[in-house]
Structures are given as C-alpha cells and as structure tokens.
Amino acid sequence: MTLTSQQVRQLLDQAVASATQMELQVCVAVVDSGANPLGFLRMDEAFLGSSDVAQRKARTAVLFRCPTDAFGKVIEQEKLLGMSGSNQGLCAFGGGLPILHNGQLLGGIGISGATAEQDQQIAAAALATLFQRQ
C-alpha cells in the first residue's frame, strides 16, 4: 500500500490550509515509505532555508519510523554523536511525522518554517484528515 498522488496533494493542501489559518508560512514535504520525494510546496514568504529542512523532517520520520521530536530526544539522551549527519542529513526536532495506516508505514510528512511545535501541529492536522476524506 502506497500513498496515491491524490493523497499527497490532499496532504499538501491541508498543511497549507492549516498554516494559513495560523498565519504562518511554511514548506511542506511528503515522502514515500522509501523516503523518496512525493510532493513539496513552499508557501509565499516561507524561509528559503525551510525547503531543505522540511524534506529532512519527512525523510527522518520514515528512516527511523517516528516523529522527529521523539527522534531528537533519543539522540540527545543516548548521545548519538554523528547520527543527525547520517543519511545525507537528518532533522531531529519537531515537525516531521511518519504516515501510518493500520500499523503500516506509508511515508512521512515534514513541515518547516515556524516553531518546531507549530510545525508539528500543522503536520498532525494534515495527517488527521488523510484517511477521513476517502
């Protein structure tokens, strides 16, 4: 089971809608279960540097099958030196979530542009609507 292109667009649109409602400007990235790019959008006025960060968050959430903020806590507690530089660069703070359905990993979503908490909130809001809409 994989995310369809239609679902990817729903995720992008929903994330943008949430960010707009919160008066924030973010980048949104969606990757598949192989951590390969499926979709991306940069909102008007989002930081230029948030593009790469959003993509790293989405990849990190898939590569280690967990939210990026939880991943960051493990890195810090376990003192995993060098971990965040692995896999061509991870992102170990909030804003990236794995996309799971019935226990199966379908991909990941990463948001960047606001605070880590806000980024994660936008990611969660996008995911919340994913399987309701169908």
Least gap, CB of 56 to a copy of itself (angstroms): 6
Residues 34-73, mask of contacts with a copy of itself (x by CB under 8 A)? xxxxxxxxxxx--xxx-xxx--x---x-xxxx------x-
Residue 17: how many CA atoms within 13 Å on its side-chain side? 11
Q: Would you say how long the chain is, in residues?
A: 134
Q: Are 108 and 97 in contact (CB under 8 A)?
A: yes
Residues 78-97, mask of contacts with a copy of itself (x by CB under 8 A)? xxxxxxxxxxxxxxxx----
Rounded to an integer, what distance in angstroms lies between the CA atom of residue 125 and that of residue 113?
16
Decide if residue 124 touches a copy of itself (CB under 8 A). no
Size of the site for a copy of itself (CB under 8 A): 51
Rounded to an integer, what distance in angstroms lies between the CA atom of residue 70 and that of residue 34?
20
Rounded to an integer, what distance in angstroms lies between the CA atom of residue 130 and that of residue 43?
20
Residue numbers of the site for a copy of itself (CB under 8 A)? 4-5, 8-9, 16, 32-44, 47-49, 51-53, 56, 60, 62-65, 72, 75-76, 78-93, 115-116
